[in-house]
Structure 1
Amino acid sequence: MREGGKRSVTMPKSMVQIQRCDVEQCSYNKNKECHTMAITVGGPQDPCPSCDTYVAIGQKAGVPDVQGAVGACKVSACQFNESLECSAQNIVVGLHDGHPDCQTYRKR
């Protein structure tokens, strides 16, 4: 038990991996692989399932031996969204109208 009498919960599910990222100008991208621990897909005002973790600062970032994964999905209209968690087998991130989007998104 944790402090305060609350139980800790073991997560039975692993995070959904980013199979490929075609947004090569992102600082976390190396050889079409994402190297951040986790991305957030979508935001409160986003009409698209955009990668909210995208950053292009002119230098490489992330952890070289880490394959990126989906930490949270805020796109409630996606069929893979279950309680803000992604349930897809894996995802692909690519450019859409000049910004990075989750290409695996499927409307409910």
Structure 2
Amino acid sequence: MVRIVSCDVTDCSYNKHNACHTLAITVGGPNDPCPSCDTYMHGNQKGGIPDIQGGIGACKVEKCTYNQALECSAPSVKVGVHQSHPDCLTYKTR
């Protein structure tokens, strides 16, 4: 599973010290052609597992170079804010 090496979305419930602590995120939501983090959750409650480094569970962004059969094949991934929502910053158009 491709690992998330950094996450700048500090208001996400799974973010602690700019790292993702959920087992896996999904990139791209239903009918969403942009590389948004569909797992993003804003709230006061912190989630995730402290010793876990998040990974990419699924990628639904059809036009990404790294999308191979709905799985991410990038060496690693960075997540950050783009146009007021969390996106996969590693996204690269085919």
What TM-score results when the alignment is normalised by the length of structure 1? 0.85
Which residue, out of 60, 78, 93, partners 2:79? 93
Which protein has greater RCO, CA pairs closer than 8 Å, 6+ apart? 2
Say yes or no: does 1:50 pair with 2:50: no
- Aligned-residue Cα RMSD (Å) equals 0.7
Residue in 2 that maps onto 1:21 = 7
Q: Structure 1 residue 44: deviation in Å?
A: 2.5
- Alignment length (residue pairs): 94
Structure 2: runs of 5+ lacking an equivalent: none
Structure 1: runs of 5+ lacking an equivalent: 1-14
Which residue, out of 80, 99, 102, partners 2:66? 80
Say yes or no: does 1:39 pair with 2:25: yes
- Computing the radius of gyration from Cα coordinates, the structure with the larger value is 1
Residue 46 of structure 1 aligns to a residue in which SS? coil
Cα distance in 2 between the residues matched to 1:50 and 1:19:
16
Deviation by residue 1:38-92 (Cα, 9 ceiling, x = unmatched) = 0000023223100000001111110000000000000010000000000000000
Cα distance in 1 between the residues matched to 2:27 and 2:83:
16
Residue 19 of structure 1 aligns to a residue in which SS? strand
